[in-house]
A and B are shown apart, each in its own frame.
Chain A
């Protein structure tokens, strides 16, 4: 939202006015809560503190408190709980003020609707009794409404600001957020039941501790996973630099292998393994002296033999990495040729593992289409022609065919692949924030 279009601003203003109207009938006496003002203040403080903590230490939001408010309080009071936390939240980029107002207005409307539905189904009395399993019904309905309102409002603002298709965005946001919000809803329900039990708010606060630890672990998991990916990327960059390749050769081979694998109709797990195989195919070159890899002019037979050891080195280096699976076979055999004249073992035909045949084609394709120190890049069509010419003797014709088909459909965008392709970004962001609902 670098430059927010005027129509989006109007939309935000409209939602904000609605939110204010929903908050208006305050304060009102609530028969079953001893002091509603006190309860609202405590919940609002908890939510604000939780948001601050979540933003700094983890990546997530503190919906259990909001949903507990919706299960405990009448709609306007429950909606008020969200305001301070949302207004104090940190902005990510520019137009921070607008984002805060939007967040607050959106949450007010969503919490109000959830509390309204919950109350109309008699959920608040059921929480006091507590009338299990009946309480689960109104709570479930409230969670559904909460997700739905957030998704619709988000889709609206995205449509106005970025021209995103409304229906698809709405479905996407709703689908992604339902499961996490349902878990938050269970925690919120437990909070509400304990709050109304003889043990009071003290017991309700205890519910937040396990939730907090759960998020913390989740955030740690994502941090560690990102570090792991960075390590693999650094590993292959080291190989590329050592070999004097153009930057990103290994990543591009990974991408081409993935395209072939998809075209062959392999399942997602094997596609991912093939991507890794493509990325790591030359890792064994770490073990070959730099002097040889960068040598100008013809190699002696002795030097050639040393370089041709790199598939075995790669296989040995990756021996301890259990998640690579059959990718290790691809690393070992990616220089085998169909007619049996390749190395290291001189396998032929179907003896060569399928994944190695995929990586061999991808490797040759990128070698031809990228610029090397000793020659310029060739066009994609010429490279495919060359691959077809060598199919049968050097390459598996099926793989060449699959690559041709995939390229015809998706095209080849090598410039994009060098950095970004390593991380499937949108999926990861949605997962790592654990934040149901996309913020504009």
Chain B
């Protein structure tokens, strides 16, 4: 997982510094979460906790969910069980037919304490940006609890009975999920400086998948505990735990798949057709450009695979191209190698879109799919800038701009210029 994962999340590691190394928005979010937790703990300690068995049961659920969370760069909700349990506690109004009395402060305190407890092994192993994950969880749950608990305890929802109450919970959860998506996109934007719009779009799209499952489970848990008491928790945990496990396996097989593709890409380098690390650099830079242009996450995956395998056609050549520099070849030869590559990729059973991108990487840009334009521009830039030494990057970019009339898509060249100017990729590391 490490290599390919590192290739993908590479720009993350070099976010631009502001406010002493941490972007302002991150400071605000962490501060707000810290304030919320402090106030909640103080209030809970002053008033004393109520309904301890409920608090303990939900706390245990959140902690278990947190313990079984997965690590993986490409998945959004790392601990769906914990998230669903926390939301259910925030929206819990009754238990086995009797009204509950815990307020917002207790919800935040319990969720925060349980999440911390569940994170201990992860922190001990020195993994992951747990702090932001925790801040996001606390703020989201706090939002849901603030919307629900005070009004419920004051009896505002008394007229909502039966199915209407269930729909009310669903509506509240949807609202919470939307706010959470905005918060997540804003945090990612602050960390990585990738454009906000596409990030928000990807967050919202994920809402339809695992997000909807988390919301529905949160609502079902709250309702089931209201109807049947605490027994409902273990009964309903099993299906969700299975979801979590299948997600884990899915993530694992995706990671090994990416490793295999990356290895295939290395074959051309080892055969001496292309310089070492070229495919990885094109993939990393191509992803950054794709993000800047607002590609969706599935499109980015296609782009990444195509960029990794864009030179695979050279394996079919009897004699290598000098230094693997295809951008300098006559167009007909470039197109022939691209077609050979597409044929190899088609055999490998990856998404046929990847083969199309590899095949069309040497076509004139008005006829190309967007991912193929990006591969062509980034590949040409990488080849031109590689040996030019200091200042070569600018010269290469200028050359692409001049050639943009026919071969290189101008909007992609501009996106590349923006990515380079942002400074996250000025000095491509080898391999």
Contact = CB atoms under 8 A, between A and B. Distances in A.
Interface of A: 130, 132-133, 136, 183, 186-187, 189-190, 193-194, 197-203, 206-207, 209-214, 216-218, 220-221, 224-235, 237-238, 283-284, 286-291, 313, 316-323
A289 B247 CA distance: 42
8 contacts: A132-B232, A186-B236, A207-B236, A229-B349, A319-B263, A321-B260, A322-B259, A323-B259
Interface string B1-24: 111100000000000000000000
B166 A206 contact: yes
Interface in B1-50: 1-4
B322 interface: no
A198 to B, nearest CB: 5
A319 to B, nearest CB: 7
Given A200-B163, A227-B350, A193 B250 contact: no
B260 A210 contact: no
Contact of B267 (A210, A224, A228, A287): A287
B219 A289 contact: no
A320 B3 contact: yes
Contacts of B260: 228, 231-232, 235, 321
A238 B344 CA distance: 8
Contact of A320 (B243, B259, B270, B319): B259
A21 B38 CA distance: 67
B254 interface: yes
A291 B320 CA distance: 12
A136 B166 CA distance: 24
B220 A206 contact: yes
Interface of B: 1-4, 161-163, 165-167, 170, 209-210, 212-213, 216-217, 219-220, 223-224, 226-229, 231-232, 235-236, 238-240, 242-243, 246-247, 249-250, 253-254, 256-257, 259-264, 266-267, 270-272, 315, 318-319, 344, 347-351
A232 to B, nearest CB: 6
Given A132-B228, A210-B243, A289-B318, 5 more contacts: A206-B166, A238-B344, A287-B271, A316-B270, A322-B259
B347 A206 contact: no
Contacts of B231: 132-133
B250 A316 contact: no
B270 A313 contact: yes
Contacts of A200: 162-163, 166
Contact of A214 (B220, B246, B263): B246
A202 B166 contact: yes
B228 A231 contact: no
Contacts of B264: 231, 235
A193 B246 contact: no
A210 B216 contact: yes
A218 B246 contact: yes
A183 B238 contact: yes
A202 B271 CA distance: 61
Q: What are the 3 tightest A-B residue pairs by CB atom distance, in nearest-first order?
A: A230-B349, A132-B231, A197-B227
B227 A193 contact: yes
Contacts of A291: 318
Residue of B4, B212, B249, B348 with most chain A CB atoms under a 10 A cut-off: B348
Nearest to B173: A206
Contact of B257 (A231, A237, A289, A290): A231
B209 A203 contact: no
A186 to B, nearest CB: 5
A195 B318 CA distance: 69
Say what secondary structure dominates the interface of chain A: helix
A237 B271 contact: no
Contacts of B228: 130, 132, 193, 197
B239 A231 contact: no
Contact of B209 (A183, A187, A213): A213
Contacts, number: 181
Given A193-B227, A220-B250, A231-B348, A317 B270 contact: yes
Contacts of A233: 349
Contacts of A284: 270
Residue of B167, B219, B247, B256 with most chain A CB atoms under a 10 A cut-off: B256
B12 to A, nearest CB: 19
Contacts of A197: 223-224, 226-228
A202 B253 contact: no
Nearest to A318: B263
A127 to B, nearest CB: 10
Contacts of B165: 198-199
A81 B123 CA distance: 50
Nearest to B217: A210
A198 B162 contact: yes
Given A199-B223, A231-B260, A235-B264, A286 B270 contact: yes
Contacts of B229: 132
Contacts of B246: 214, 217-218, 221
Nearest to B238: A186
Contacts of B257: 224, 227-228, 231
B167 A202 contact: yes
Contact of B347 (A133, A207, A234): A234
A408 to B, nearest CB: 36
A317 B232 CA distance: 51
Contacts of A321: 256, 259-260, 263
Given A213-B213, A316-B270, A317-B270, A199 B227 contact: yes
B250 A186 contact: no
Contact of A203 (B2, B166, B254, B266): B166
Nearest to B315: A286
A206 B214 CA distance: 11
Contact of A194 (B167, B224, B261, B271): B224
Given A133-B231, A313-B270, A321-B259, A207 B253 contact: no
A231 B212 contact: no
Contacts of B226: 197, 199
A237 B347 contact: yes
Given A193-B224, A323-B256, A316 B349 contact: no
Contact of B170 (A206, A212, A318): A206
Contacts of B216: 206-207, 209-210
A288 B239 contact: no
Contacts of B249: 221
A228 B257 CA distance: 5
Contact of A316 (B242, B266, B347): B266
B263 A317 contact: yes
B270 A213 contact: no
A238 B341 CA distance: 12
Contacts of B170: 206
A130 B224 CA distance: 10
Nearest to B94: A198
B387 to A, nearest CB: 23
